[in-house]
Amino acid sequence: MILAAATSMGLGTCIGGWRVVKTIGLKVVELRPINGFAAETASAAIIEVASRLGIPVSTTHVISSAILGVGATKRLSAVRWGVAGRIVVAWVVTIPACVFLGWIIYLLLHFITGIR
């Protein structure tokens, strides 16, 4: 299971990772190395505290929010809020889409194997 999860995460990063990096790092707000350092440090702190408290967080959501925060510290107009809004909509749509996909896969496997 661990190998399957690691493989799927690696494949997902290879297939769509650059698009995410390009969108977050260039299209939402233009980052300089110091901005990236600040966002990564804030994200690491938040993820560490959440982990110690047993709070599940999405690392992608945390780093994206930190990058938005770093961009907003320059000036609010430095952030392309239209792109950021589309990202938030994708976050909201992801959970019900995954639930639906899981339900469909369950029904297919149940139909094929007859196992509950």
Give the pLDDT confidence of 76-102 residue by residue, as tens digits. Answer: 888 899 988 988 898 889 889 999 999
CA distance 116 to 111: 9
Residue range(s) defining the domain that contains residue 100: 2-113
Mean residue pLDDT across the chain: 88
Number of compact structural domains in the chain: 1
pLDDT at 104 over 90: yes
Which tens digits make up the pLDDT trace of 23-49? 877 788 888 889 889 999 999 999 999
Q: Which of 95, 75, 91, 93 is nearest to 24 (CA)?
A: 91
So what's the pLDDT on residue 97? 93
In the block, residue with structure tokens 């896969």: 105
8 Å CB contact between 63 and 21? no
So what's the pLDDT on residue 46? 96
Cα angle 63-41-4, degrees, rounded to a multiple of 5: 50
pLDDT at 58 over 90: no
* Count of helix runs (H) and strand runs (E) in the chain: 4, 0
Tokens of 87: 């990202």
